[in-house]
Amino acid sequence: MTVLDDLGTELDAATKRLLATAAAMPDRDVTAPSLLPGWTRGHVLTHVARNADSHVNLLTWAKTGVFTPQYPTLEAREAQIAEGAGRAAAEQHADLAASAARLDVAVRDTPPQAWRATVTGMTGDGHPAWYALVRRLREVELHHVDLGAGYAWADLPPAFVLRELHDTVATWPRAESRISAIHAGGRSWTGLGEGPELRGDAPIVLAWATGRLDGGPRAAGLDFTGLRLAESPPAAPKWLTKSAPLGLPPTPPEEYP
């Protein structure tokens, strides 16, 4: 048994939760603003659907050895999202379900040796194909929250939150950091830069780290130890500057992280 089994189980459950949220949306909710600036919920749903297809591309690359980019270009990706954003709720849900099903088939059809193949995301950083499941799970869970349709940071599974904090810190741009450590969910990450130490509930720390914290860090209850009251809490540096952490094992490990 490898991490592929756990990630597959998590992804299946996360996808079902997202589909249930989408199924409950009337047309007026799909065209309402999401929590992402400039995007409606239709933009978010379309992006998640096209992201599933993009991960089918990566697994096709892994299985065949033939270069198959995640998206043809960044411009093509943005055009697909804009084109699909205005669709009715039923069409959005059907597309989301169909694309998730295509990815599920691609995952099940990927032979064991192909999970070791190196594939590349939009940033140009290569990673073993098994990590594509981590990336897809990230898209489903965080964009479910981004819909602003009832699924909140506190609803994210603890194992997912801690994995995301691990990978966020593993790709942390220390030169841009204004904090020195993070303490959340019983875990600590130190040596992040200069400044105060950040403490808080793990989901809220993740919201801060991804630049999605509405109302400000102090309003959310985060503690920046060593920060004077007159000082503003620091913002997180740019999130996920790489597609994947460096040094991932090529063969799917028993667990990750």
| Interval 100-132: pLDDT, tens | 999 999 999 999 999 999 999 988 789 999 999
Strand residues in 112-247 grouped as ranges (E): 118-120, 126-128, 181-184, 187-190, 197-199, 223-225
> Which of the listed residues 100, 117, 151 is the one where a domain comes to its end?
151
249 belongs to a structural domain = no
| Interval 195-204: pLDDT, tens | 999 999 999 9
Percentage of residues in the chain having pLDDT higher than 90: 93
| Interval 205-218: pLDDT, tens | 999 999 999 889 99
Amino acid identity of 184? A
What is the pLDDT averaged over residues 57-72? 97
In this predicted structure, the answer to whether residue 228 has a pLDDT above a threshold of 90 is no
Do residues 142 and 218 share a domain?
no
CA distance 203 to 156: 7
146 belongs to a structural domain = yes
CA distance 143 to 147: 6
Our count of domains for the chain comes to 2
What are the backbone dihedrals phi and psi of residue 189, each rounded to the nearest 5 degrees, phi first? -125, 120
Position 162 scores a pLDDT of 98
CA distance 215 to 251: 42
Percentage of residues in the chain having pLDDT higher than 70: 100
- Grade residue 95 by pLDDT with cuts at 50, 70 and 90: very high
Do residues 168 and 212 share a domain?
yes
State which residues form the domain around 126: 3-151
Cα distance from N-terminal residue to C-terminal residue, the chain: 15
In this predicted structure, the answer to whether residue 230 has a pLDDT above a threshold of 80 is no
Position 59 scores a pLDDT of 98
Q: What is the DSSP letter of 130?
A: G
Do residues 117 and 193 share a domain?
no
Position 1 scores a pLDDT of 85
CA 49 to chain CA mean position, Å: 14
CA distance 34 to 238: 21
Q: What tokens does 73 get?
A: 């270009």
> Which of the listed residues 120, 151, 182 is the one where a domain comes to its end?
151
Q: Note the pTM of the prediction, 2 decimals.
A: 0.97
Do residues 214 and 111 share a domain?
no
Q: Is the separation of the CB atoms in 114 and 60 below 8 Å?
A: no
CA distance 88 to 109: 32
244 belongs to a structural domain = no
Closest CA to 117 of 162, 66, 80: 66
